[in-house]
């Protein structure tokens, strides 16, 4: 059996590995020339934890994870306004929470693929953007650009190409039908800054600000991961995307304190900067094409479980599709995957939308309320309530 997987993010890497282990021939096509170095700090908890343990990925993730003691909110003068002990958050999230940058998570998944799958079974093609797909009586065909370009045929096409999925657009219809903008944008980038690195070590530090929030975490090698979330009514219009993201961030985040100023001084010209959104679709499979991860069920960073769901969903798809031994079995298998997995993703999406309304305080009153709620976390019982609000509903 042959599969083409489009996108070597977390979902694509795990799906390709699991099918390779089950004996499939897999082409994994990724448009980036190499594993993407850019990213943000991710909390890994929820259903991906059990799935990662089961497929033998968890220890690799744990080996590169960071230690976090607290989530702290600081004001524009750098003073601590409120904080939450990380162990409270971890307890509510099911005890096992790993914090690691997105590129480290992807590198661990890639290493697990290349180390564990028999050589030649999964061809990982970087610098291989998929430009066109056909899914008809003749089977699945995929046109891959590159030097040289190539057309691949397969028994199943797995679109793991993220929130702006081209496979989804070609097989299921235009993005606008499925893209649900949550009123914010998020930017993320990594800078090398030894002084800030020392200042923020072992904590998630967030600005206690209105309509905008900058967050920092110290990485190894004197680096700092920065995350910036800001309200944006325009959403994802062509006009917004054509402006320089760095200039826009400097404008949006002016006056939020010396740490914000410093990371924006060092910000690359084109940092990751995208709409905070969910993908909501009536169906994830059509013919011999199935979507997985953000491509069909993005929950947004607000739900904090996108990476976790990407791993768990891709592992489940591998479990169900792996034993299929004839092209006739593909349709029923991918339908079963969707039937089983959709309710889990929908629950997490509901939690993400609920959090969207309170994630960025709109005024001084809302900000005061957040400070007050967090300061109440030293009261037994309240700490769990607050952490649960931050974590959202943990998918099972």
Ligand X SMILES: Cc1cc2nc3c(=O)[nH]c(=O)nc-3n(C[C@H](O)[C@H](O)[C@H](O)COP(=O)(O)OP(=O)(O)OC[C@H]3O[C@@H](n4cnc5c(N)ncnc54)[C@H](O)[C@@H]3O)c2cc1C
Question: Which residues lie near ligand X (CB under 6 A)?
Answer: 6-12, 29-32, 36, 40, 42-44, 102, 129-130, 160-162, 166, 186, 188, 227, 293-295, 301, 304-308, 310
Q: Give the phi and the psi of residue 376 in degrees, each rounded to 5.
A: -80, 0
Which is closer to ligand X, CB of 24 or CB of 230? 230
User: Would you state the structure tokens that stand for residue 84, as one six-digit string?
Assistant: 């939450």
Shortest separation between residue 325's beta carbon and ligand X, angstroms: 27
Shortest separation between residue 137's beta carbon and ligand X, angstroms: 24
Shortest separation between residue 391's beta carbon and ligand X, angstroms: 11
Which is closer to ligand X, CB of 297 or CB of 361? 297
Shortest separation between residue 324's beta carbon and ligand X, angstroms: 22
Distance CA 287, CA 135 (A): 7
Cα→Cα distances 77→83, 259, 260, 396, Å: 16, 10, 11, 41
Contacts of 157 (CB under 8 A, 6+ apart): 3, 4, 6, 133, 135, 140, 142, 167, 171, 288, 289, 290
Which is closer to ligand X, CB of 61 or CB of 188? 188
- How is residue 147 annotated by DSSP? S
Shortest separation between residue 284's beta carbon and ligand X, angstroms: 12
Which is closer to ligand X, CB of 245 or CB of 307? 307
Shortest separation between residue 343's beta carbon and ligand X, angstroms: 18
Which is closer to ligand X, CB of 209 or CB of 308? 308
Shortest separation between residue 304's beta carbon and ligand X, angstroms: 5
Which is closer to ligand X, CB of 162 or CB of 318? 162
- Decide: 80 and 129 in contact? Cβ < 8 Å: no
User: Would you state the structure tokens that stand for residue 376, as one six-digit string?
Assistant: 């109440």
Residue 125: CB atoms within 10 Å: 18
Which is closer to ligand X, CB of 114 or CB of 363? 114
Distance CA 199, CA 191 (A): 14
Residue 328: CB atoms within 10 Å: 9
Cα→Cα distances 352→147, 321, 370, Å: 41, 29, 18
């Amino acid at each position: 059996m042959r599969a083409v997987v489009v996108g070597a993010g977390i979902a694509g890497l795990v799906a390709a590995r699991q099918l390779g282990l089950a004996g499939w021939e897999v082409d994994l096509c990724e448009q980036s020339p190499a594993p993407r170095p850019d990213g943000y700090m991710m909390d890994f908890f929820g259903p991906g934890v059990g799935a990662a343990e089961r497929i033998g990925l968890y220890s690799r993730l744990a080996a590169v994870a960071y230690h976090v003691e607290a989530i702290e909110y600081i004001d524009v003068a750098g003073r601590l306004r409120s904080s939450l002990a990380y162990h409270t958050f971890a307890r509510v999230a099911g005890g096992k929470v790993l914090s690691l940058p997105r590129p480290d998570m992807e590198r661990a998944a890639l290493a697990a693929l290349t180390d564990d799958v028999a050589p030649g079974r999964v061809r990982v093609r970087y610098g291989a953007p998929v430009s066109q797909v056909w899914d008809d009586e003749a089977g699945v065909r995929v046109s891959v650009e590159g030097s040289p370009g190539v057309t691949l045929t397969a028994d199943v096409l797995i679109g793991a190409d993220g929130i702006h999925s081209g496979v989804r657009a070609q097989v299921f219809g235009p993005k606008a039908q499925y893209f649900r903008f949550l009123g914010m944008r998020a930017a993320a980038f990594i800078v090398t800054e030894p002084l800030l690195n020392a200042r923020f070590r072992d904590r998630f530090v967030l600005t206690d600000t209105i309509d905008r929030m900058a967050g920092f975490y110290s990485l190894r090698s004197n680096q700092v991961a920065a995350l910036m979330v800001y309200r944006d009514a325009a959403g994802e219009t062509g006009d917004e995307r054509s402006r320089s993201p760095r200039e826009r961030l400097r404008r949006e985040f002016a006056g939020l304190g010396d740490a914000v100023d410093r990371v924006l001084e060092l910000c690359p010209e084109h940092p990751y900067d995208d709409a905070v959104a969910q993908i909501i679709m009536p169906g994830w499979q059509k013919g011999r094409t199935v979507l997985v991860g953000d491509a069909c069920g993005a929950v947004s960073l607000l739900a904090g479980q996108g990476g976790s769901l990407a791993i768990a969903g891709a592992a489940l798809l591998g479990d169900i599709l792996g034993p299929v031994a004839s092209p006739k079995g593909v349709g029923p298998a991918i339908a079963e995957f969707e039937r089983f997995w959709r309710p889990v993703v929908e629950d997490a999406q509901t939690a993400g939308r609920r959090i969207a309304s309170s994630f960025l305080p709109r005024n001084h009153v809302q900000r005061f309320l957040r400070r007050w709620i967090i300061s109440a976390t030293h009261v037994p019982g309240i700490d769990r309530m607050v952490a649960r609000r931050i974590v959202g509903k943990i998918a099972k």
